[in-house]
Amino acid sequence: MPFVNEYISDADRKKYHLTRICGAHNEAQPGRMYSRTWTIDRQDNIFLIQVWSHPHSLSDGWAFFWKGEWLFFEVVGAGEGGPQPDGSCWFGYKILNFSLPIRLSLQREYIVSDLTRAFGDYCGGGVFSTYSHGTATLYFEQ
């Protein structure tokens, strides 16, 4: 199922404890929920959400919720291409400090594939994107 970009409902905010969990990882404003939007695949229980941004930082903080597991990392933009005649886009992202718990190590290929799909469907702006659909390339750095 494709990811969709949408505003987060109060019910979803409570269901996933977003204010508490994302606030605990908000480096720019600890304790605060940064994003009101997300990119979500409800069928597979997966979503991508920006956790923090700061104008003086070279990266932004993100979280990826994958089938009950939270993963936190930083992102730096690494190029874009669009719009194409069909309304699509391409974005590159450098992913920093991405690590999986040992219990998920055998799932790495699936997690990275879903994360790539999520960033592709995010289209560089989520609900604010003007692209109809997109793809992404992720570059992982520790």
Structure confidence by residue, pLDDT tens digits, 62-109: 999 999 999 999 999 887 776 777 878 899 999 999 999 999 999 999
Domain count, the chain: 1
Structural domain range at position 79:
4-141
Percent of the chain with pLDDT over 90: 71
Helix %, strand %, coil % for the chain, to 5? 25, 40, 35
pTM of the model: 0.91
Q: Are 37 and 47 in contact (CB under 8 A)?
A: no
Give the dihedral sign, CA 62/117/111/17. Answer: positive
Structure confidence by residue, pLDDT tens digits, 115-133: 999 999 998 888 898 888 8
Q: Are 74 and 60 in contact (CB under 8 A)?
A: yes
